Amino acid sequence: MWGWNDRRVVSVLTILFDGVAYGMLLFVLACGLVVTLGLMNFVNLAHGAFAMAGGYLTVILMTRYGVPFLVCLPIAFVATASLGAVVERTLYVPMYDRSHLDQVLFTIGLVFISVAIVHFLMGSQAQVIRLPSYLQGRFEIFGVGIGVYRLFLIAVCGVLALLLQWVLAATRFGSQLRAAVDDARVARGLGIRVSWIFALTFAFGSGLAGLGGALAAEIVGLDPTFPLKFMLYFLVVVTVGGTSGMTGPLLAALLLGMTDVMGKYLFPKFGAFIIYAVMIAVLMIRPSGLFSRIGTR
């Protein structure tokens, strides 16, 4: 079925490129969850709701107030981060030491509420944003078609990933966070303000999700069911990626993005089927993730 003529190879490279862009996007969307779910062991199914909030905020700012796209991105980040901070302080804190079942029920409830509210305010149709002209279009390098916006995505998300890894591994805040996660009681005893660190991390993760939502609106579309549709994707990034640092989730997100894009290009009939099957298979072989160290929680 596959002839090795040039055109095919080139189109495979283009698909790969799209897959990498998509995977990077998934990473930014999900990396907040790596901390709350992966490190703090809090089952937060409502992560996608923050992404949706960022996406819709961007749509509203751009279509109703004419704010330029690049200005919308930091606004989406700050707004969802503050939303995350408020929600964490008021609603999530009492849930931290509850059972997993309680956390699941609670966060599903939040997802349903957010879906209903967005549906009420914005209607059920998919929202579109008009990218500025300098982010539109495609160009070719050695015959490989490259979308400008996807290149932009890779650049932004790549920088964010490096930044995150640096914060987590090399800054004082990062080591305090790792200590708080490893053993909250001992960390508290050492004078680390654990709950403040968790709140800050949660807010930052929500902000990244909001930024991801703003970036994703063009690629995957934005409608009220967004948090439900992507719930599993986020969970995959975290569980398959493991929780020992940012490299695992990044690789998992790239793998997921490429598999999904390839599956949709090459076997459009199966749709999302492939990605679910691959996920189940991976979890069967390595229940604690592909890239996790042994003995993580």
Partner 1 sequence: MPDTTQPLATASAPAHFLLGKSRWRPAEIVFWALALAAYFAFPRRHLLLNEIAILGLFALSLDLILGYTGIVSLGHAAFFGAGAYAAGLFAKHVFGEPVTGLVFSIGISAILGFLSSFLVLRGTDLTRLMVTLGVALVLYELANRLDWITGGSDGMLGVKIDPILGFFPFTFRGSTAYLYSLTVLFLAFLLARRVVHSPFGLSLRAVKDNRLRASSIGIAPARRIVAIYTLAAAYAGAAGALATQTTQFVSLETLDFTHSADALLVLVIGGAGYLYGGLLGAIVFKLLKDALSVASPAYWLFWMGLFLVVLVLIGRERLTGGGRALLDAVVARMPGRRR
Interaction residues for partner 1, span 26-55 (CB under 8 A) = 37, 43
Rounded least distance, CB 251 to partner 1, Å = 18
Of the candidate spans 51-59, 61-69, 110-118, 142-150, the one that interacts with partner 1 by CB under 8 A turns out to be: 110-118
Judge residue 297's burial from the number of C-beta atoms within 10 Å of its C-beta, 0-12 exposed, 13-18 middle, 19 or more buried: exposed
Among residues 70, 86, 117, 169, the one that binds partner 1 under rule CB under 8 A: 117
Judge residue 247's burial from the number of C-beta atoms within 10 Å of its C-beta, 0-12 exposed, 13-18 middle, 19 or more buried: middle
* 295 lies in the binding site for partner 1 (CB under 8 A): no
Beta bridge partners of 147: 138
* 152 lies in the binding site for partner 1 (CB under 8 A): no
Q: What SS3 string covers 16-73?
A: HHHHHHHHHHHHHHHHHHHHHHHHCCCCCCCHHHHHHHHHHHHHHHHHHHCCCHHHHH
**In the complex with partner 1, which residue's Cβ is closer, 77 or 234?**
234
- Please give the size of the binding site for partner 1, defined by CB under 8 A: 43
Cα separation, 213 vs 132, whole angstroms:
17
**73-92 mask for partner 1 (x: CB under 8 A)?**
------------------x-
**In the complex with partner 1, which residue's Cβ is closer, 185 or 269?**
269
How far lies 62's CA from each of 57, 113, 115, 222, 267, in Å? Answer: 8, 25, 21, 14, 35
**In the complex with partner 1, which residue's Cβ is closer, 140 or 182?**
182
**In the complex with partner 1, which residue's Cβ is closer, 180 or 238?**
238
Cα separation, 214 vs 161, whole angstroms:
17
* 113 lies in the binding site for partner 1 (CB under 8 A): yes
Among residues 15, 108, 135, 192, the one that binds partner 1 under rule CB under 8 A: 108
H-helix or E-strand spanning residue 147 = strand 144-147
**In the complex with partner 1, which residue's Cβ is closer, 57 or 115?**
115
Interaction residues for partner 1, span 275-294 (CB under 8 A) = 276-277, 279-280, 283-284, 287-288
Beta bridge partners of 127: 222
Q: Which is nearest to 210 in space by CA: 60, 47, 61, 85?
A: 47
* Straight-line distance from the first to the last Cα atom of the chain, in angstroms, rounded to the nearest whole number: 45
The two three-digit tokens of residue 148, written as one number = 């400008």
* 115 lies in the binding site for partner 1 (CB under 8 A): yes
**Chain contacts with partner 1 (rule: CB under 8 A):** 37, 43, 91, 94-95, 98, 100-102, 104-106, 108-117, 119-120, 228, 231-232, 235-236, 239, 269-273, 276-277, 279-280, 283-284, 287-288
